Structure 1
Amino acid sequence: MAHGLVQDPWAGKRVRTLDSGTREGEWQAYEEAFTTKVAEVGGVNYPPPEQGQPLSGSVGVETVLNADGTVASVDIRRTSGHAALDQAALRIVRMAAPFQPFTAVMRSQTDLIRITRTFNFVRAGEPLRSQ
């Protein structure tokens, strides 16, 4: 039996990756709608101060969405260095779900969408920003 092998959970699926550089019509609009919704939810669910100090930092997050807009997975790709911020980023994405279902054109081209974003937590009380 082989040890240490990692199976691709999306094997056999068509996965389209979107990020802040996506510039193709409907794909760009989808990515922007995702980012806007996450920022709105993050703005009202900012993590509380830790030991009396407001938290700030950037968290790299990868979210995989199903065609119906539900979250298939959400993972940290680059930590902020603060466990509370990293967990808040994951929680905020889950709270913002479900996202828009894929359009018929999108469904004809992909089964899953992977969105990679960096979320910037500036200071407690300020809105979450992403890039």
Structure 2
Amino acid sequence: MAGILSGLGESVPLPDLQAPAPEPASAPDARTPDASAIFASRGDEIAALNARISARNAAAGRERRKAISTSTKEYRYASYMEAWRRKVERIGNLNYPQEAKEKALFGSLILHVAVRADGSLEGVRVVRSSGHRVLDDAAVNIVRLAAPFAPFPDDIEAETDVLDITRVWQFQRNHRLGWND
């Protein structure tokens, strides 16, 4: 995808931040890494994505954008993101995809969400697929259903027009949306 979909369904062009898409998941074999290695690589991948987003924003003159993730330590941003996460998770669990339940699908994906200072959705896109289109589409739909979000507090709004949020989403076996931070 050349851009992200805006809250109104329009495509907003963005720089290419994606690494090549991984192959769909297959049956585990002796070469499959353990879960701790997978989770550690996700953290590294999100940190690298945030660094690329920040560098491209600065190069494009968009210094009033701030890339955040679960590794963000600044209290004001971490606090906003935690409130955002709670809302999205609540909406996600109320709107868990029926097809995923019926087919017993589960998996994780990385999603990039851009939120404007007024809480409106600038855009959302799948950065790394779960390998199941129904889960990827559901994550995007859940963000749209949860929007608008809370406006930025004054201390964030004073220096930031858009928050670029990158998260690992997990559609779990128990038909719940969760996070693996």
Q: Which runs of 5+ in 1 are unaligned?
A: 1-5
Q: Deviations over 1:65-115 (max 9, x none)?
A: 111001101000010000000000000011111111011111111111000
Percent identity of paired positions between Structure 1 and Structure 2: 37
- Indicate how the Cα distance of structure 1 residues 7 and 98 shifts in structure 2: closer, same or farther if over 3 A, else same: closer
User: CA–CA distance in 2 between the matches of 1:69 and 1:86?
Assistant: 23
CA contact (8 A) 1:47 1:55 kept: no
Q: Taking structure 1 as the reference length, what is the TM-score of the superposition?
A: 0.86
Pairs aligned (count): 125
- Indicate how the Cα distance of structure 1 residues 94 and 29 shifts in structure 2: closer, same or farther if over 3 A, else same: same
Q: CA deviation at 1:22?
A: 1.2
The answer on 1:38 being equivalent to 2:88 is yes
2:113 alignment partner, SS class: strand
Between Structure 1 and Structure 2, the one with more helix by share is 2
Amino acid across the alignment from 1:49: E
Amino acid across the alignment from 2:177: L
- Indicate how the Cα distance of structure 1 residues 52 and 127 shifts in structure 2: closer, same or farther if over 3 A, else same: closer
The answer on 1:111 being equivalent to 2:161 is yes
1:39 alignment partner, SS class: helix
Q: Deviations over 1:51-75 (max 9, x none)?
A: 9421100011000011100110100
Q: Identify the range of structure 1 (11-20 vs 109-118) with the bigger mean alpha-carbon deviation.
A: 11-20
Q: Deviations over 1:21-49 (max 9, x none)?
A: 11211111001111111110111111113
Q: Which has the higher contact order (CA 8 A, sep 6+)?
A: 1
In the alignment, which residue of structure 2 is the partner of 1:127? 176
User: CA–CA distance in 1 between the matches of 2:171 and 2:99?
Assistant: 12
Task: State the Cα RMSD in Å.
Answer: 2.1
User: CA–CA distance in 2 between the matches of 1:46 and 1:66?
Assistant: 26
Matched ranges for 1:76-115 at <5 A? 76-115=126-165
